Amino acid sequence: MAANLARGTASGGKAALSDDELAEFREIFNLVDQDKGGTISKAELKQLMNTLGLRPSQQELNAMVDEIDADGSGEIDFEEFVIVMSRKVQTTYTPEQVKAAFKIFEKTAPAGFVTMEVLEHALTTYGADKLSLADARDLLSQIEPDESGLINYAEFVDMMTSG
């Protein structure tokens, strides 16, 4: 199955996934599959959505699973999960996408700002292209925080998306 996923799927997977991408998808899948049953149930999907601050109705959950569940089992297996996730994988991001991701890390900083520490943690912890601590610090050294030590994420987005 993994070799099939890496090459794309018989159902028309577009891009081959790297071993790192498959490993990251497996890690995410395993986090959501809390009972370790090998599938993501509607209850597990609902818990994930709630954790993300989304509150889908049962009807919305059913529609999501129905859209993803290619084999009609009522649950999402790893191959179905990878097919959906691989549609979402992009190598470039729009400024709007970066801003939306950045908002997750605002924590206690004022809206539109984040601390250097939180951003450093995000850069070294999340995503397929996690940075080493040295690389994250090198990137962050190019950013000038304000007098409170905060980073304006509009400026950060401009820096990251202007090539």
Give residue-wise pLDDT tens across range 57-75: 889 888 888 888 999 999 9
Tokens of 85: 């996730």
Tell me how far apart the alpha carbons of residues 21 and 55 are, in angstroms, rounded to a whole number: 28
Domain residue limits, the chain: 2-88, 95-161
Class of domain 95-161: mainly alpha
Output the pTM of the full model: 0.46
Check: CB of residue 9 under 8 Å from CB of residue 83: yes
Check: CB of residue 23 under 8 Å from CB of residue 5: no
Domains 2-88 and 95-161 share a fold: yes
| pLDDT at 78 (0 to 100) | 94
Mean per-residue pLDDT, 82-106:
66
Tell me how far apart the alpha carbons of residues 29 and 43 are, in angstroms, rounded to a whole number: 14
Query: Is pLDDT at 1 greater than 50 in this prediction?
Result: no
| pLDDT at 127 (0 to 100) | 64
Please report, to the nearest 10 degrees, the dihedral formed by the alpha carbons of residues 131, 133, 134, 136 taken in order. 50
Check: CB of residue 110 under 8 Å from CB of residue 36: no
2-88: CATH homologous superfamily?
A: EF-hand (1.10.238.10)
Place of tokens 């000038």: 144
| Region of poorest pLDDT, from 26-35, 43-52, 85-94 | 85-94
Question: What is the pLDDT confidence band of residue 91, given thresholds at 50, 70 and 90?
Answer: very low
